[in-house]
Amino acid sequence: MDYIDLEKNTLVVTNEPLAGYTLLNIPHLFVQNVFLFGFRYLPRVFYSLLMSTVMAPFRLRERLVFDRAVEKTEIKNDPIFILGHWRSGTTYLHNLLSNDRNLGFFTTFHAYLPSVFLSSDKIFRPILVSSLPEKRPMDDVAMGADLPQEDEYSLGAVLPYAYYNGWCLPRNMRFYNGFVCMQDVPYEVLREWKEDYLYMIKKVTLYWKGKQLILKNPANTARVKLLLEMFPDAKFIHIYRNPYHVYLSMMRFMRIVTPLYCLQVPPELGKVEKMMMDLYAEMHKKYLRERDIVPDGNLFELKYEDFVKQPLREVKSIYRELGLKGFKKSEQSFIEFIESQVNVRTREYVVDEELREKINKRWSFAIKAFGYES
């Protein structure tokens, strides 16, 4: 087993997330990686630098025009955070709940180009739209500039401490994985991360004219304590999936996406697999510790397999248990979205005994905690 189309995708440059990064952040990332780029990926480096340079004056203009308004933006209702490991159904849940018109969210445009979306929509939206595939490369889920997106991309654009930086710079993936659990990181890094995340959330709140936000970010699964420090009344929805299936889906995800993002020849896939398995264990151990500090009534835990069978029933339970308003008003929109997804293909996985034993050795605590013991 190896990466999919690694050589074929070498000259694909428009999928590169760094193109939306700030001109201050990109050099910081380059220094972190001592400028170790693969020669074959230099077109991606140049493309990212070009796009970031073009956007620089527009970023400055946006800060000058909107900074005061962003800082004054009041978050009247703390966000609703969707948690759950990558490939656990977080996107489907996020897309579905975003049909509640009382809620705002990060769109793909907000997440990929977080520094220009308020003032330069007409200029940069067409560029983003032209670079997006119709569907995500790893599955059958639609992509679009205005569809919900995870906010970790926006953090990566302004900070050198974000999970997806490890997909762009996979030789340093373990380093960037460390910013998921945020353990043993300097105080200044935590402070900067909180400040920038709050700024982004305020900025998107301003865009949505004060609506409560529904935010999806798998990395936040290990950041519950940090998020509660920022938003004491935040609500959390944790969606979890059969760990054996998560493993197989993640391996496919890494084999497809790494060749599209990387600026370096990626490590041997076995090393990436180990880092993925380590991160899964670390983030779920941290989540299982920190979920107990969430105030009563502010956490809903959702089993993926139940959700995909009866999505409307589970969404109704989420609204009831978290005390959210608006289910009846949004019910028809939820139904229409669910019906629109009936032709989305989902993969079926076969877990042989060798693989089962390997996963059990690393993730047995999660298998037990989430009720997947055979």
Tokens of 23: 């001109």
Is the pLDDT confidence value at 118 over 70? Answer: yes
Nearest CA-CA partner of 92 in 302, 348, 257: 302
Q: Is 259 exposed, middle or buried (0-12, 13-18, 19+ CB in 10 A)?
A: buried
- Cβ atoms of 244 and 355 within 8 Å: the answer is yes
- Cβ atoms of 3 and 259 within 8 Å: the answer is yes
If you average pLDDT over each of 14-18, 65-69, 182-186, which comes out highest? 65-69
Distance CA 159, CA 154 (A): 9
Long-range Cβ contacts of 30-35 (<8 Å, 24+ apart): 32/160, 32/169, 32/172, 32/175, 33/169, 33/171, 33/172, 33/264
Helix (H), strand (E), coil (C) string for 88-119:
CCHHHHHHHHCCCCCEECCEHHHHHCCCCCCC
Distance CA 238, CA 173 (A): 25
Q: What is the DSSP letter of 295?
A: P
Distance CA 181, CA 139 (A): 26
Chain segment 131-168, per-residue pLDDT in tens: 998 888 878 788 999 999 999 999 999 999 999 999 99
Is the pLDDT confidence value at 25 over 80? Answer: yes
pTM strictly above 0.85: yes
Looking at residues 102-108, what average pLDDT do you find? Answer: 98
Distance CA 206, CA 73 (A): 6
Average pLDDT of every residue of the chain = 95
pLDDT band at 192 (very low <50, low <70, confident <90, very high): very high
Looking at residues 182-203, what average pLDDT do you find? Answer: 96
Structural domains of the chain ordered from first start = 17-369 (3.40.50.300)
Beta strand extents in the chain (DSSP E only)? 80-83, 103-104, 212-216, 235-240, 299-303
Looking at residues 249-261, what average pLDDT do you find? Answer: 94
Beta strand extents in 48-97 (DSSP E only)? 80-83
Is the pLDDT confidence value at 374 over 70? Answer: no
Is the pLDDT confidence value at 189 over 70? Answer: yes
Is the pLDDT confidence value at 244 over 90? Answer: yes
Least confident of 138-147, 205-214, 341-350: 341-350
Share of the chain above pLDDT 70, in %: 100
Give the H or E element holding residue 129.
helix 121-131
Looking at residues 98-112, what average pLDDT do you find? Answer: 97
Distance CA 74, CA 164 (A): 29
Distance CA 203, CA 67 (A): 9
pLDDT for 190 equals: 96
Look up tokens 């029933």; give the residue: 313
Q: What are residue 303's DSSP bridge partners?
A: 240
Q: What are residue 83's DSSP bridge partners?
A: 238
Chain segment 294-343, per-residue pLDDT in tens: 999 999 999 999 999 999 999 999 999 999 999 999 999 999 999 999 88
